Amino acid sequence: MLFEEDLLCHSCRSQWIASKQKFIIDGIRADSDWEYEGGFAKCLLQYKECNDEALHEIFLNLYRKKLRHRYHGCTLLLIPSTEEKNRERGFHHLPGIFECLGLNMLEPFDKVLIEQQKELSRAGRQKMRHGIRLKPNIGLPKKIVLCDDVITTGSTIRGALNCLEKSDHCIRIYACAVASGSRRK
């Protein structure tokens, strides 16, 4: 009764690497709870690419109370996938992952590049920061959290940050996982 009930069996969860990280991206504090490898990476791939929508709750369930408390009063701004990818999957994966927090969510950005990020080189991913735009006529609240599933280079998050007037908002960043060895400066 003292511990949060896990939705994964012990054997499956033991393949996930917990790695609570705090780091800075373009002067903004970012947090993450998992390493993007092993069990986490396999489950995310199954959720996103195999359309296994039933997995949406497993990514943040263990940390939902902590995250709900940390980001209380904030609105989650979800990083976009391309429209093409959303059509291919039949859903945008991030609302499912973050809904367990019970916080307000918005999808205010568009991803305007069609290239699939995982197929790009590091230099190509760095150019992605220019592939994000704020949808027209979107009113954003003061306290916001940019949310993504994984940070590899930080380019997509930087693209979203470039769309925002930092002086108008109190901004935080949260990603479920961070790729090991990635540079998050």
Per-residue pLDDT tens digits for 27-69: 999 999 999 999 999 999 999 989 899 999 999 999 999 999 9
Q: What is the pLDDT of residue 1?
A: 37
The tokens describing 89, both together, are 């999957």
Strand order in the sheet with 170-178: 18-25, 28-35, 170-178, 143-151, 75-78, 105-106
The Cα–Cα gap between 62 and 27 comes to 28
Confidence of residue 183 (pLDDT cuts 50, 70, 90): very low
Higher-scoring residue by pLDDT: 5, 73: 73
Contact 152, 128 (CB under 8 A): no
For 37-41, 44-48, 83-87, 179-183, which range has the lowest pLDDT when averaged over its residues? 179-183
| Ramachandran class of 109: left when φ > 0, alpha when ψ lies in -120 to 50, beta otherwise | beta
Average pLDDT over residues 71-81: 96
What is the pTM for the complete model shown?
Answer: 0.87
47-53, long-range: CB within 8 Å, 24+ apart, which pairs? 47/93, 47/96, 48/89, 48/93, 48/149, 49/89, 51/89, 51/90, 51/91, 53/91, 53/96
The Cα–Cα gap between 2 and 34 comes to 22
The Cα–Cα gap between 22 and 30 comes to 6
Q: Report all structural domains of the chain as residue ranges with CATH numbers, in order of start.
A: 34-178 (3.40.50)
Q: What is the pLDDT of residue 122?
A: 63
* pLDDT over 60 (residue 114): no
Average pLDDT over residues 94-108: 97
The Cα–Cα gap between 129 and 25 comes to 12
